[in-house]
């Protein structure tokens, strides 16, 4: 499995939440719905082999005490209209719902390791490699891959089980979701992670 020991590997699903995935959600990324079937296949295989599965969810406290600069970046979040801890929008989408015993790590920044107990969970499970999927490729997936590297974990990024979004021109020109996705994959392939498609990943599982 791309050089990793499956007995020391965990699957991490990042930010596949209602506020990102559902139609007309306040932070809707239509591309996120497209990757649900790929993530489902990975989850089915991992669960069938007893591999640890961990979910990360980006949420903020009601009232926004933990928002920080996110308050300036995302108006629906700042207004308390999205990613509120304890509300339905912040929950994992039903198609990818955690099974009993699968940890859900609540994070307040892009990197799922930052100020969370993710590292403690992985160490306790004997994990050395994390398999990353979810949204968005250039933001929370990349941030988490970098966080894994900095803590001594290997990471594998499932290239077709991650998605990005269209970027407007904010001074450096626009980028389509596809272009941004590929750019982020290229960065991670050089700086932090191995890239593998879902089919190849599943074929390498024992």
Residue 4 has pLDDT above 80, yes or no: no
Residue 143: closest CA among 101, 134, 31, 4: 134
Could you state, in order of their start, the residue ranges of all structural domains in the chain? 6-60+92-203
Residue 3 has pLDDT above 70, yes or no: no
% of the chain surpassing 70 pLDDT? 99
Could you report the per-residue pLDDT of 19-36, keeping only the tens digit for each?
A: 999 999 999 999 999 999
Q: What is the pLDDT of residue 2?
A: 58
Could you report the per-residue pLDDT of 110-138, keeping only the tens digit for each?
A: 999 999 999 999 999 999 999 999 999 99
Q: Say how many C-beta atoms besides its own lie within 10 A of residue 25's C-beta.
A: 18
Domain 6-60+92-203 is classified in which CATH homologous superfamily?
Isochorismatase-like (3.40.50.850)
Residue 97 has pLDDT above 80, yes or no: yes
* Residues taking part in catalysis: 15, 107, 140
Could you report the per-residue pLDDT of 142-187, keeping only the tens digit for each?
A: 999 999 999 999 999 999 999 999 999 999 999 999 999 999 999 9
Where do the DSSP E strands lie in the chain?
Answer: 9-14, 53-58, 104-107, 129-135, 154-163, 194-196
């Amino acid at each position: 499995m791309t050089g990793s020991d499956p007995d020391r590997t965990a699957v991490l699903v990042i930010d596949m939440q209602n506020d990102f995935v559902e139609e007309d959600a306040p932070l809707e990324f239509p591309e996120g719905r497209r990757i649900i079937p790929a993530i489902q296949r990975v989850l089915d295989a991992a669960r069938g082999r007893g591999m640890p599965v961990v979910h990360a969810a980006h949420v903020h406290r009601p009232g926004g005490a933990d928002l920080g600069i996110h308050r300036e970046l995302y108006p629906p979040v700042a207004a308390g209209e999205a990613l509120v801890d304890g509300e339905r929008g912040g929950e994992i989408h039903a198609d990818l719902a955690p099974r009993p015993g699968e940890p859900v790590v609540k994070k307040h920044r892009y990197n799922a390791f930052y100020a969370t107990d993710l590292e403690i969970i992985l160490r306790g499970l004997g994990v050395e490699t994390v398999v990353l999927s979810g949204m968005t490729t250039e933001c929370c997936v990349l941030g988490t891959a970098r966080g894994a590297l900095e803590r001594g974990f290997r990471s594998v990024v499932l290239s077709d089980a991650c998605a990005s979004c269209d970027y407007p021109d904010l001074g450096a020109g626009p980028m389509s979701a596809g272009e941004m996705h590929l750019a982020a994959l290229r960065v991670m392939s050089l700086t932090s992670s191995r890239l593998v498609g879902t089919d190849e990943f599943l074929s390498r599982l024992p």
